[in-house]
Amino acid sequence: MPLAFLWLFLLFLAVSVPVVFGLLLASGVTVVNDFGNEFKSRDLNSLLSQLFSGMSSVPLMALPMFILAGEIMNTGGITARLVHFSQTLIGHVRGGLAHVNILSSILFAGLSGSAVADTSALGSMLIPAMEKNGYTRQFAAAVTAASSVIGPIIPPSGIMIIYAFIMGVSPAALFAAGLVPGLLVGGGLMAVTYFLAIKHDFPVANKRAPAREVARAAGASFWPLLTPVILLGGILSGWFTPTEAAGVAAFYAFIVALVVLRTLKLREVPRVFLRAAIASGIILLLIGASKSFSWVADQVGAAQMLSEFLLSLTDNPYLLLFLCNIMLFIVGMFLDAGPAILILGPILGKVFVTDLGLDPVHFAIIMCVNVTVGLATPPMGLVLFVASSVAKVRVEAIVKSMLPFLAVEVVVIFLITYVEDLVLFVPRFLGLIQ
């Protein structure tokens, strides 16, 4: 039974074993019991070596640094400045606050790269404001959850760093490739919001802001909005690597919040570092466990088996990509984005990049966007539960209001799947790929 380890993992998940321990237990039991006689030795040295090598990697140092930068920005109250800036730009449009919510997510994505941070930070501010402005709480929560998936798509992105590490793809190329898909999601959500605003006569948040007020709001947001410019400019110009860029981001966020804007207090700094350390430890342990799991999958030939199975169904690459999207969408309903990429990336990469010859950057974005949208889908979408907690509304009510937004995100997924240039134009233009 060469795939017994996979059934073991699913069994552990079914009985509510945390993902990281499910990965380790399934891998360890497989090696010890030598299922399928794939392992010639019963010791765990090789498995433990994979665990530690998965965590001790220079490129992965970018993750804790980006997490720290996001924590500093959140604690430093940067969110309110971004929201005010968004409101001066589009608050006068029909359904203004819903548009403000989406635009704030696009701007916030360049700072944190986290869907959960986006939902929590923006939701706690905009959901009550939208309710006072005449929206239902479930609709406000739905807009917040749907737009939060933009966070991990527009760079900097934690899941893209994970994918780049596990699959050996350029992080800079992935960052550049995520720009157009992220903006497509944001634009699509705004289009649906505008249609719903007219249909349901949503209110206008405020009158058109005069140019002077827009300029003041832009000035107040200048230093935070300079963050993605510094990061992407530095990475794409070759001034520093993505790992070094993460350190620059954390240092810059610290200086801006503590010295320039003075929105972060010295007494808050230890708590910021503690939260960043805990979040980083969780993610790195998960990466190490997934590396062990992927090693076992490789030893038992799981990738080869899946490749043979899919290619036995059809040799049409378009149909195979359709099936892949459906599978990833379903997986995203149950697994968080990080574990989904760590577990399925090496397996599906073998099928679509090695066997079918798909561009590795293109497939990376297809996978990253799919599992990110899964964060906002029932029954296990993490941002749904965060939005539910912030809005104090049942998840079922939020999902009902989210359906038009999810439909748009699915359309974007298929667009970037079948129109390769939407993904690869920017990295090709910048000379990051051929």
* pLDDT at residue 36 in the model: 47
Model confidence, pTM: 0.82
pLDDT digits (tens, 9 = 90+) for 241-254: 777 888 888 888 88
pLDDT digits (tens, 9 = 90+) for 157-175: 888 888 888 888 888 899 8
* pLDDT at residue 61 in the model: 80
* pLDDT at residue 3 in the model: 64
* pLDDT at residue 189 in the model: 95
Q: What is the 3-state secondary structure (H, E, C) of the chain?
A: CCCHHHHHHHHHHHCCCCHHHHHHHHHHHHHHHCHHHCCCCCCCHHHHHHHHHHHCCCHHHHHHHHHHHHHHHHHCCHHHHHHHHHHHHHCCCECHHHHHHHHHHHHHHCCCCCHHHHHHHHHHHHHHHHHHCCCCHHHHHHHHHHHHCCCCCCCCCHHHHHHHHHHCCCHHHHHHHHHHHHHHHHHHHHHHHHHHHHHHCCCECCCCCCHHHHHHHHHHCHHHHHHHHHHHHHHHHCCCCHHHHHHHHHHHHHHHHHHHCCCCCHHHHHHHHHHHHHHHHHHHHHHHHHHHHHHHHHHCCHHHHHHHHHHHHCCCHHHHHHHHHHHHHHHHHHCCHHHHHHHHHHHHHHHHHHHCCCCHHHHHHHHHHHHHHHHHCCCCCHHHHHHHHHHCCCHHHHHHHHHHHHHHHHHHHHHHHHCHHHHHHHHHHCCCCC
* pLDDT at residue 213 in the model: 86
- Which residue positions in the chain have pLDDT lower than 70? 1-3, 34-44, 112, 205-206, 302-304, 307, 380
